Amino acid sequence: MNWSDALIQLQYDLGAPRELSWLVEGVTYFVGAFILANAALVLALLLIWITRKVISRIQDRIGPNRIGPYGLFQTVADALKLLSKEDITPASADKISYLLAPVLSVVGVLMALAVIPFGPGLIGADLNVAVLYLVALGSLGIMAALMAGWGSNNKYALLAGFRVVAQLLSYEIPMVLAMLAPVLLVGSMSMQRISEAQSLYLGPINLGVGWFIFLLPGAFLIYLIAALAEAEQTPFDLLEAESELIAGFHIEYSGMKFAMFFLAQFLNSFFLGAIAVVLFLGGWQGPFAGQIPLLGPIYFLAKTFLVYIVIQWIKGTFPRVRIDQMMQFAWKVLVPLALALITAQMIIMKLPLPIWINYALLLAANLVVVAAVLNILGSYFEREQVRSKRAFAPRSLIGTMQPVQSSSGD
Amino acid sequence: MLSQWGFVLILSAIAVIIPVAAIVLGHFLGPRRPDPIKMDVYESGVETIGDTWVQFRAQYYLIGLIFLIFDVEVIFLFPIAVAYAQLSFFSIIAAVTFVLILLLGLFLEWRKGALEWT
């Protein structure tokens, strides 16, 4: 049972005239969209609180704990503070793109809500091109960041705008290729169909653990790395590298306009996690999700928050990469591997063998990709460690705290 | 299907209204005391020199071109993925050949040094 059908039926039961079916449908969709969009705003406040708490625990701090229980209302207070700040527009800015950029960044993120399946029948619009729709919305975020960087008429913001183009364009290719792998398995781009396909039946009972991560760990790893870059999270946050570019593309923004960028960024990383959950971690599937419908949204939100907390964990532990390293990793490692993975999957799944052997071969191909990525990353970090140790080794005793050792024979 | 897109249309309208309303609200609630220093661009306290909208590296343009090629390729792969179950083995080989040609193109760019960021 779809939520919209249920709501339309309820209105007819309450005495809505059948002739006005377009109005009834319009009211239904408006109510659904309104609840969804406003829930996203509340969610953003919660996400910022989670980020602060996780990061502060990693850094051995307490984090916000004054306003509300566990400091839960700290972000509400921050939002109110931003609301009362002066709205500054630089005199030399390109007004149209400067004012349009914060709106566009929020639009691109909020529209992704339409195709996220929270449970069986609980999806805004079950589009049959949902994956392509999400990719298109990702480009809207790139446009917003570029417009902010260009329109601010600020050199730091412009540099950040260049980096946005380079980074987000480069990582979009491996991300979309990794999203292609579940679509290949299911044969549909609808998010609800992809979620339903990840069931695992043991007799008549749906265990709900036929997740694609068990078949496609390589695609999941590539998606996760690319999604970190797309969400502008550490280790790929060099478009707002505080030590280099002060604040990146939103340096000239204040008050609510800055809050819009902030909101978009946190919601974006949450939704990229939600897409990862739908495509690879089973969506709302879980033990007994078929029997008890209420468990679907609970499983979905629990998994998504878990992925979000992992993203924040990465944010708290990894150093930032350099731009040349980032570009090389995208084009020389992720893109060839993702293409090889898709090619292998296309051939393997068409081989005239029992389906279990096909799946085993697919898993083997994915594990090879995982091993290759981890090997390249591992050897790279080892080399960097040796290099940085050499670079920071004291070359003379001047400036070090060691006592001067007297040479023997004196 | 059409009514599904109706939901997307309504959601996009709400998604535009929310940030516009927030920014307009912030504009009227906040104080307004503009002065020339405040309206200037922020550059760590020094006055900005020269034009901001300058020429930039050709490398960004090159990355944009390579992205364009691969994005179009990915768009071509999506219909193949959706129709995968109905396709014969021969048409899959054709699709794989298409991917391999582009992979060769990527290796050519790699050899030519288009992917180096020095």
The 3-class secondary structure across chain A, one letter per residue, is CCHHHHHHHHHHHCCCCHHHHHHHHHHHHHHHHHHHHHHHHHHHHHHHHHHHHHHHHHCCCCCCCCCCHHHCCHHHHHHHHHHCCCCCCCCCCCHHHHHHHHHHHHHHHHHHHHHCCCECCECCCCCCCHHHHHHHHHHHHHHHHHHHHHHCCCHHHHHHHHHHHHHHHHHHHHHHHHHHHHHHHHCCCCHHHHHHHCCCEECCEECCCCCHHHCCHHHHHHHHHHHHHHCCCCCCCCCCCHHHHCCHHHCCCCHHHHHHHHHHHHHHHHHHHHHHHHHHCCCCCCCCCCCCCCHHHHHHHHHHHHHHHHHHHHHHHCCCCCHHHHHHHHHHHHHHHHHHHHHHHHHHCCCCCCHHHHHHHHHHHHHHHHHHHHHHHHHHHHHHHHHHHHHHCCCCCCCCCCCCCCCCCC
Cα–Cα distance list, A222 to A179, A326, B83 (Å): 9, 14, 24
Q: What is the pLDDT of residues A137-183, one digit of tens each?
A: 888 888 888 888 888 888 888 888 888 888 888 888 899 989 888 98
The answer to whether the Cβ–Cβ distance between B5 and A158 falls below 8 Å is: no
Which of A167, A176, A239 is the mutation pick for testing B, counting most B CBs within 10 A?
A: A176
Q: What is the pLDDT of residues B70-102, one digit of tens each?
A: 888 888 888 888 888 888 888 888 888 988 888
Provide the 3-class DSSP secondary structure of residue B107: helix
- Contact criterion met (CB below 8 Å) for A104 and B49: no
* Per-residue confidence (pLDDT) for residue A170, from 0 to 100: 86
The answer to whether the Cβ–Cβ distance between A37 and B18 falls below 8 Å is: yes
Which residues 6+ apart lie within 8 Å of A37 measured at CB? A110, A113, B11, B14, B15, B18
Identify which of A211, A191, A187, A182 has the alpha carbon closest to the alpha carbon of residue A199: A211
Q: What residue in B sits closest to A352 (Cα-Cα)?
A: B89
Which residues on B lie below 8 Å from A125 (Cβ)?
Answer: 4-5, 7-8, 11
Q: Cα torsion for A95, A101, A104, A108, to the nearest 10°?
A: 170
d(CA A266, CA A278): 19
- Contact criterion met (CB below 8 Å) for A312 and A265: no
- Side-chain-side CA neighbours of A30 within 13 Å: the count stands at 6
Q: What is the pLDDT of residues B46-78, one digit of tens each?
A: 777 777 777 777 788 888 888 888 888 888 888
How many other C-beta atoms are found inside a 10 Å radius of the C-beta of residue A15?
Answer: 6
The more confident residue out of B46 and B7 is B7
The shortest CB-CB distance from B84 to any of A30, A165, A184 is to A184
Q: What is the pLDDT of residues A309-364, one digit of tens each?
A: 998 888 888 877 777 778 888 888 888 888 888 888 888 888 888 888 888 888 88
Global pTM? 0.87
- Contact criterion met (CB below 8 Å) for A41 and A263: yes
Which residues 6+ apart lie within 8 Å of A55 measured at CB? A63, A312, A315, A316
Handedness of CA A233, A239, A240, A241 (dihedral sign): positive
Which residues on B lie below 8 Å from A323 (Cβ)?
Answer: 117
Q: Cα torsion for B60, B72, A189, B3, to the nearest 10°?
A: 90
The shortest CB-CB distance from A37 to any of B15, B20, B31 is to B15
Calculate how close chain A gets to B74, using CA atoms only, in Å: 7
The answer to whether the Cβ–Cβ distance between B78 and A183 falls below 8 Å is: yes
The answer to whether the Cβ–Cβ distance between B41 and A92 falls below 8 Å is: yes
Is the confidence at residue B20, as pLDDT, over 60? yes
Quick one: angle between helices A335-348 and A155-186, nearest 10?
A: 10
Q: Is A285 left (phi over 0), alpha (psi -120 to 50) or beta?
A: beta
d(CA B65, CA A147): 20
Q: Which residues of chain A have pLDDT under 70?
A: 1, 239-244, 392-410
Please report, in angstroms and rounded to a whole number, the separation of the first and last CA atoms in chain A. Answer: 93
The more confident residue out of A304 and B5 is A304
Which residues on B lie below 8 Å from A252 (Cβ)?
Answer: 41-42
The answer to whether the Cβ–Cβ distance between B115 and A125 falls below 8 Å is: no
Q: What is the pLDDT of residues B29-43, one digit of tens each?
A: 878 888 877 777 777
Which residues 6+ apart lie within 8 Å of A343 measured at CB? B96, B99, B100
* Per-residue confidence (pLDDT) for residue B55, from 0 to 100: 74
Calculate how close chain B gets to A384, using CA atoms only, in Å: 17
The answer to whether the Cβ–Cβ distance between B82 and A183 falls below 8 Å is: yes
Please report, in angstroms and rounded to a whole number, the separation of the first and last CA atoms in chain B. Answer: 50
Q: Is B50 left (phi over 0), alpha (psi -120 to 50) or beta?
A: left
The answer to whether the Cβ–Cβ distance between A91 and B32 falls below 8 Å is: no
Calculate how close chain A gets to B108, using CA atoms only, in Å: 12
Paired tokens of B80: 């193949």
Q: What are phi and psi of A119, to 5 degrees?
A: -175, 180
Q: Cα torsion for A177, A182, A188, A192, to the nearest 10°?
A: -120
The answer to whether the Cβ–Cβ distance between A86 and B7 falls below 8 Å is: no
* Per-residue confidence (pLDDT) for residue B2, from 0 to 100: 60
* Per-residue confidence (pLDDT) for residue A165, from 0 to 100: 80
Which residues on B lie below 8 Å from A256 (Cβ)?
Answer: 22-23, 25-27
Q: What residue in A sits closest to B8 (Cα-Cα)?
A: A114
Which residues on B lie below 8 Å from A93 (Cβ)?
Answer: 41
Q: What residue in B sits closest to A164 (Cα-Cα)?
A: B60
Which of A78, A81, A87 is the mutation pick for testing B, counting most B CBs within 10 A?
A: A87
- Contact criterion met (CB below 8 Å) for A222 and A369: yes
Residue B73, strand partner residues: none
Which residues on B lie below 8 Å from A92 (Cβ)?
Answer: 40-41
The answer to whether the Cβ–Cβ distance between B89 and A350 falls below 8 Å is: yes
Paired tokens of A221: 């790893």
Calculate how close chain B gets to A99, using CA atoms only, in Å: 10
